[in-house]
Amino acid sequence: MKFELVFIPHPAIGHLKSAVEVAKLLVERETRLSISVLILPFISSGEVGASDYISALSEASNDRLSYKFFLTEDQPTAEPTKLNLQIENQVPKVRSAVAKLIEDYSTLPESPRIAGFVLDMFFTSMIDVANEFGLPSYLFFTSSAGILSLGLHVQVLYDENKYNVTEDSEAEMIFPSFTRPFPVKCLPYSLVSKEMLSVFVNLSRRFREMKGILVNTVAELEPYVLKFLLSGDTPPAYSVGPFLHLDNNQVDDVSVGEKQSEILGWLDEQPASSVVFLCFGSMGGFSEEQAREIAVALERSGHRFLWSLRRESPELPGEFTNLEEVLPEGFFDRTKEIGKVIGWAPQTAVLANPAIGGFVTHCGWNSMLESLWFGVPTAAWPLYAEQKFNAFEMVEELGLAVEIKKYWRGDLMLARTEMETVTAEEIERGIKCLMQHDSDVRKRVKEMSEKCHVALMDGGSSRIALGKFVQDVMENIV
């Protein structure tokens, strides 16, 4: 019997790429399966390479993995209430698209049966659409199993009126999915903000309605958390990652391609494992004061560096117009032999280069998985979303990263608050720890890198979990 899943990923590029990668693996593994990916309109078009990626998807559609695009109407937003409204505005379009899919298949011989929806973690309202068609829903969770378990446990505490926290609290909480106490200061801003808490608690409530949860993680990376999830009353969790978009050659923009060639050419001239790479994600911009502190730290550390530096902005970060005026006087002259300051960075291509010896990162989950995949140790500097939790898990819980900044008041993306300045001393200390070549962290990262690669091979833990997911989907077909 042929069957088909309807994927509805969040169109922000980090979510979309992960969802596409899992869709590719699923159709590769199961020849009876086809997937239709519905790409909603509020794509993060301002991100470098986003338009190239979307163009490549439109050309890659085939009978077994097709991409259906909705017309662009709205601009992307990070504010939860507006995001919810944008999602609700797409419900009629999704309903119509699925109805047409079912109608078309009803007239074709040997057409697949629609087996269910696979929904992004923010798109739980689409469960209602699936229910209208009598279809089961599955969750694609783009972050870690750890933050999934945290959100589910907070939801239980909230519903039992046992959750009362503030961002400034010095308290620690005991979560059954972690091996050590969790500092309240490491909670994502969305779980301490009164305005946003109910939105995210409601998401976790609806996670429990799913038939299963695909998690972008590896069993060997988060074994304790996954054991807890599998022993609880939550839907089955399938650790099927890491899902990484590693094709660095899909660059149609000439200027972007030239920048990438220049960056990689410079790295090719550096000694192995000698360069510290600093890059902070799509929203990671800094004030002039913070940029100067980083520059001082880099110069004092004495290490070679590749620094992706962008200016803070209420929307997407932009380029500084004149770095000579922003950074310390004479910085470029003193570091010209060992350092390179850039704007946009081809992150996976950089991490894959043998010259990279360490990665100072905002701790986005995709970035953490990419660093592990390439065996590059990280220094944690969380800025927004669930990144403070990711930093805690990687540094404290798993021992796979070193610390630059553990606690961070507010949230660069959601709270729009003025971020506290991290001192040059703190940054320098973190960089020196990161670049120690005989450290236990570096050894553990190399070991975990090998486990991540094995997980995606035949007989590996993620391949087995993927097969279990396919089997369960077939059993749930109505």
> Is there a domain that residue 348 lies in?
yes
Residue whose structure tokens are 């506290």: 420
Q: How many angstroms separate the CA atoms of 279 and 401, rounded?
A: 15
> Is there a domain that residue 132 lies in?
yes
pLDDT for the residue 110: 87
Q: How many angstroms separate the CA atoms of 185 and 127, rounded?
A: 33
Q: What are the φ/ψ torsions at residue 93 (nearest 5 degrees)?
A: -70, -40
| Residue 434, Cβ density class (10 Å: 0-12 exposed, 13-18 middle, ≥19 buried) | buried
Same domain, 433 and 469: no
Same domain, 259 and 228: no
Same domain, 321 and 351: yes
Q: What is the pTM of this model?
A: 0.93
Is the pLDDT score of 189 beyond 80? yes
> Is there a domain that residue 223 lies in?
yes
**Least confidently predicted of 44-48, 68-72, 226-230, 267-271:** 44-48
Question: Per residue in 233-252, pLDDT tens?
Answer: 899 999 999 988 876 555 55
Mean pLDDT of 462-474: 97
**Residue numbers of the domain that contains 176:** 3-241+457-475
Same domain, 355 and 436: yes
Is the pLDDT score of 315 beyond 90? no
Is the pLDDT score of 472 beyond 70? yes
Q: Which residue has the higher pLDDT, 471 or 1?
A: 471
Same domain, 226 and 300: no
With b for 16 or more beta-carbon neighbours within 10 A and e for fewer, the 304-329 pattern comes to bbbbbbbbbeeeebeebeebeebbee
Same domain, 229 and 320: no
Q: Which residues pair with 36 in a beta bridge?
A: 6, 66
pLDDT category of residue 79 using cuts at 50, 70 and 90? low
Q: How many angstroms separate the CA atoms of 276 and 301, rounded?
A: 10
With b for 16 or more beta-carbon neighbours within 10 A and e for fewer, the 41-71 pattern comes to bbbbeebbbbeebbebbeeeeeebbbbbbbe
For residue 372, give the CATH number of its domain: 3.40.50.2000
| Count of other CB atoms within 10 angstroms of residue 104 | 10
pLDDT for the residue 54: 85
Q: What percent of the chain has pLDDT over 70?
A: 91
Question: Per residue in 89-111, pLDDT tens?
Answer: 889 999 999 999 999 999 988 89
pLDDT category of residue 46 using cuts at 50, 70 and 90? low
Question: Per residue in 351-385, pLDDT tens?
Answer: 999 999 999 999 999 999 999 999 999 999 999 88
> Is there a domain that residue 247 lies in?
no
Mean pLDDT of 403-422: 72
Question: Per residue in 149-166, pLDDT tens?
Answer: 999 999 999 999 999 998
> Is there a domain that residue 442 lies in?
yes
Same domain, 333 and 405: yes
Question: Per residue in 338-357, pLDDT tens?
Answer: 999 999 899 999 999 999 99
Same domain, 175 and 281: no
> Is there a domain that residue 427 lies in?
yes
Mean pLDDT of 390-409: 90
pLDDT for the residue 410: 62
pLDDT for the residue 90: 87
Mean pLDDT of 400-411: 81
- How many domains, in total, are found in the chain? 2
pLDDT for the residue 83: 64
Question: Per residue in 170-183, pLDDT tens?
Answer: 899 999 999 999 99
pLDDT for the residue 408: 66
Q: For CA atoms 347, 352, 353, 357, give the dihedral sign.
A: positive
Same domain, 350 and 371: yes
Q: Angle at CA 334, nearest 5°, toward 312 and 286?
A: 10
Q: Are the beta carbons of 380 and 297 closer than 8 angstroms?
A: no
> Is there a domain that residue 246 lies in?
no
Q: What percent of the chain has pLDDT over 90?
A: 75
Same domain, 107 and 162: yes
Token representation of residue 262: 């220049």
Mean pLDDT of 267-296: 95
Residue whose structure tokens are 């890059």: 279
Same domain, 182 and 303: no
Same domain, 366 and 264: yes
> Is there a domain that residue 102 lies in?
yes
pLDDT category of residue 232 using cuts at 50, 70 and 90? confident
pLDDT for the residue 78: 47
